[in-house]
Amino acid sequence: MRKGLMLAAAGAITLSACSEADYAGETPANDVAAEAAAAPDASPPSPAALAPVAGIAYAFNYVLSVPQARGAELMSRHEFTCVSAGPGLCQVISARADWAGRDPGGRLELRGQPDWINRFRAGLALDAQNAGGRLEEALTTGEDVTRDLDAAGTDAKTSASLTDRLRDLQGRQGGTLAQRLEIERQIAELQRQHDARQIELRALNDRVRSARLTLDYRQGGVMAADSPARPVARALADAFGLSMGMLAVLITAGSVFLPIAVIAGAVWWAAAHRRRRPATS
């Protein structure tokens, strides 16, 4: 992007010098080039740009372990809380749940106003405890996008300044048709770059002004982590799972060997019956 702006600036200076040479009684080409080169830096930096405040885009990841019977209810309640707050405070990005499969669980992704997200996540541990579960993990990450914000803002201002300079040059009388067509092309390219930088700048500002919250719901035990009976409950659950696994193996083996046994029995009975028939005759 910066390379494109530099090339556009060089083109503007060249076109300005060429056009001014054709305009009788106008400013010399060197003065126009110097004026065009100094235009992007003419305005002094604003005090806000010098403030030592970093633009941080925050993201939070929480893992909640809840009983299967309460997981869907808790996830639905969290989603409803976000929707009820309104799009200005919270928005549901995605929601996915499967509580009837082999690995019950769900995921809810929210994006909202940072203060609202902070208040919401402050009660997640209590919500999990009230549902008979617990908060397993909590992760906070922040991405510093200050440099990207500054770069996008500077490039947008530079492209806008060069576009204004070229439009002013375009409005003057004189110049060849090739020069005017080149000016039109340069203006269109600068406008495209300016629009792209404005879109990028808005996206970066939206990331800083909002926070992302991802909630993973996993099946977990009802008992607390420090409960004396928790090891017994876990052992019983493991024993039940092992028993069901062995039963599944037996069912699978039976479904394979039972047809073979039936066919072998039928063949043996037919062979034995054929041997008995000559003996009786």
Mean pLDDT over residues 84-104, rounded? 91
> In this structure, what token pair is assigned to residue 267?
């063949």
Mean pLDDT over residues 58-78, rounded? 93
The pLDDT value given to residue 13: 47
Closest CA to 212 of 91, 88, 112: 112
**Domain boundaries along the sequence of the chain:** 2-50+160-196, 56-145+210-219, 231-281
Confidence of residue 144 (pLDDT cuts 50, 70, 90): confident
Q: CA 27, 28, 34, 36: dihedral to nearest 10 degrees?
A: 50
226/193 Cα distance (integer angstroms): 59
Closest CA to 101 of 71, 144, 74, 146: 71
CATH of 56-145+210-219, one of 3.40.50, 3.30.70, 1.20.1660, 1.10.1660: 3.30.70
118/175 Cα distance (integer angstroms): 61
Q: What is the DSSP string of 175-219?
A: --HHHHHHHHHHHHHHHHHHHHHHHHHHHHHHHHHSEEEEEEEEE
> In this structure, what token pair is assigned to residue 165?
């300079």
Confidence of residue 92 (pLDDT cuts 50, 70, 90): very high
For every residue of 101-159, which 3-state class applies, written as one string?
CCCCEEEEEEEECHHHHHHHHHCHHHHHHHCCCEEEEEEEEEEECHHHHHHHHHHHHHH
Q: Which of 22-31, 104-113, 226-235 has the highest mean pLDDT?
A: 104-113
Mean pLDDT over residues 113-124, rounded? 94
In the chain, the percentage of residues whose pLDDT exceeds 90 is: 28
Whether residue 21 has pLDDT greater than 90: no
Confidence of residue 189 (pLDDT cuts 50, 70, 90): confident
The pLDDT value given to residue 36: 44
3 state SS of 227: coil
Confidence of residue 115 (pLDDT cuts 50, 70, 90): very high
The pLDDT value given to residue 230: 58
> In this structure, what token pair is assigned to residue 112?
């909202």
The pLDDT value given to residue 216: 96
Q: For residue range 154-178, list pLDDT tens digits in order.
A: 767 777 777 777 777 667 666 677 7
238/251 Cα distance (integer angstroms): 20
Range scoring the smallest mean pLDDT among 12-21, 65-74, 187-196, 249-258: 12-21
Average pLDDT over all residues of the chain: 75
3 state SS of 263: helix
Whether residue 197 has pLDDT greater than 60: yes
> In this structure, what token pair is assigned to residue 257?
């060997």
Question: What's this model's pTM, rounded to 2 decimal places?
Answer: 0.50
Strand ranges across the sheet with 211-219: 90-98, 105-112, 211-219, 56-66, 134-144
Beta bridge partners of 131: none
Q: For residue range 260-278, list pLDDT tens digits in order.
A: 888 888 888 777 777 766 5
Helical pair 177-209 and 2-22, crossing angle rounded to 10 deg: 150
Whether residue 108 has pLDDT greater than 90: yes
The pLDDT value given to residue 177: 74
Any residues with CB less than 8 A from the CB of 27 and at least 6 apart, and which? 20
The pLDDT value given to residue 259: 84
Closest CA to 245 of 102, 134, 136: 102
